[in-house]
Amino acid sequence: MSGKSGASEISLKQSLRKIEYPSSAKDALNKIVDLICGRITSIKNMDLALDLMAEFVFLEIDRRGHKRGFPLTPLIELQLIELLYEYFNNMSNESARNTVFLSIFSGTTAIMRLGVLTKLVSVAIAIPSATILSSASAWMQQLGNTSQNSCKLAEGLIQDYFYFYNPNTSSINLVPSISPQFTANFLTAVTENYFNFTKRECIFPPKVLMESVTTWVSENPGLCIAAQQKQAVLPPGAIAMEATTPIAGLLRWTVLAPINKQDSQVYGDLHLALLNSIIEIPKVTPPKAIYAQHLTGPINPILSYVNDLRNKQELKLDQILNEDNLQLALDRYAQAIQVIYSVNAVYGHVDDLFHQLKLLPFNKLMSIVISTYKKNKVIIL
C-alpha cells in the first residue's frame, strides 16, 4: 500500500508541475481540502498537504524540496491573494474552511506567510467578506489573540487602514457590523501593541485609530465580548480556544493616558464607552469576560510614574498624591474595577488583584472600592 501511495504522490506532484501558476495553486488547494477534510485523515495525508502548500501554493520550495532563496514577485503574490480570496470566500462549509485556513497559516509557517495573510485579510475588509474575516478570527483565537502573530496581523492592518487611508471614509468602519467576532479579536491584539510597558519601546495609538476604536465600542456595547459569544466552528475533536476580550487592554490605555501626556477627550470618551460595555456584559457562571491578572497591567506603570515624580521632580508626598494626572488615572482605574466587580465579570485570582491594588498611592474612590470588596468577602464567609 505504501508503495502505491508513494507513486500516487509523485504522480500528483508531476501533474501539478505541468500546470501554470496560479491554476496549479488552485488545483493543489482542491487536493489539500480532500486530504485534510476527508472522512479519513492521517499524518501521511497532512504531510502531503503541507508539501503541496509549500511547493504549489506559496512557492516556498522547489521540486526537490529545497527552500527558494527569494520572495514571491509582486505579480505572483497578487495572483495568490486573489486566488485565496475567491477560494475561501466561496467555501460554504465553515468547519472545512477554518480547517484549511488554520493549516495554511499554521503556527510553524505563519511567520513566513504572515505578509500574504495580512494582505488577504486587508482585502476581505476592503471588499467585505464576512466569510474570510470569520476564518481569520478563528485563526487569531486558536493561535492566541495576544500572540506575536496576531499582534503582527493587527499591526499590518493598522498600517493599511489608519496610516494610508482616511478611516472615516474607508471600509474599516464597517467591520464591527460585518464580523464582530473578528473585530473583538483584532481589538485585543491591538491593545497589546500600544501602552505596553513590557516592550523595549512603549508607543501610543495614533489619533485616527483611537477615534475609530472609541466609535466602535460606543456604538456596539456588546462588541468587546463578541468573540466569546460565538465559538469558532472547528473540525471534530479540535478544542476551541477561549478568546481574551480587549476590555482589560483598552482600560490600560484609558487609565495610563493621563500620566503619559496622552490625555485628550477621546480617551475620556473611550473610558465611558468601556464602562457602559462592562455594565452590559451578560452574567454567566463562572464569569469569563475579564481575567483578574490582566487588570493588574496599570499598577507598575503608575508606581513608576510616582517614583519619577519623587526622584526627578523632587516633589513631596502630599504634592505627589494631589497631582492631577495621577488622581485622574486612579479615578478611572477605580471606576473600572468597581463596575467589573459589581457585574461579576472578573475571574481568576480576584483576591490577588485587590491585594495588588493596595500598593497604589492613596485615592479616595479606590479606597472605597477596596474596602467594599473586603466587607463583601466577610459577609460571604
Q: What is the pLDDT of residues 175-196, one digit of tens each?
A: 999 999 999 999 999 999 999 9
Taking residues 12-40, what's their average pLDDT?
93
Instruction: Tell whether the torsion through CA atoms of 290, 292, 293 and 295 is positive or negative.
Output: positive
Note the residue count of the chain. Answer: 381
Name the grid cell of 327. 488622581
Q: What is the pTM of this model?
A: 0.93
Taking residues 7-22, what's their average pLDDT?
90
End-to-end CA distance of the chain: 67
- Asked whether residue 23 carries a pLDDT value surpassing 70, the answer given is yes
Name the grid cell of 87. 477560494
Using DSSP's 3-state secondary structure scheme, residue 324 falls into helix
- Asked whether residue 241 carries a pLDDT value surpassing 70, the answer given is yes
What φ, ψ does residue 346 adopt, rounded to 5°? Answer: -105, 140
Q: What amino acid is encoded at 347 in this protein?
A: Y
- Asked whether residue 69 carries a pLDDT value surpassing 90, the answer given is no
- Asked whether residue 45 carries a pLDDT value surpassing 60, the answer given is yes
Averaged pLDDT of the chain: 91
Taking residues 144-150, what's their average pLDDT?
94
Taking residues 46-67, what's their average pLDDT?
92
How far is 112 from 110, CA to CA, in rounded Å?
A: 6
When pLDDT is cut at 50, 70 and 90, the band that residue 342 belongs to is very high
Q: Where do the domains of the chain lie?
A: 1-70, 71-245, 283-381
Q: Which pLDDT score is estimated for 198? A: 83
- Asked whether residue 2 carries a pLDDT value surpassing 80, the answer given is no
Using DSSP's 3-state secondary structure scheme, residue 61 falls into strand
Q: What is the percent of the chain where pLDDT is above 70? A: 96
Cα-Cα-Cα-Cα torsion 344, 350, 354, 355, nearest 10 degrees, comes to 170
Name the grid cell of 340. 467589573
How far is 98 from 176, CA to CA, in rounded Å?
A: 20
134 in Cβ contact with 99 (< 8 Å): no
Name the grid cell of 323. 497631582
Residue 199 CB coordination number (10 Å): 11
Using DSSP's 3-state secondary structure scheme, residue 255 falls into helix
266 in Cβ contact with 210 (< 8 Å): yes
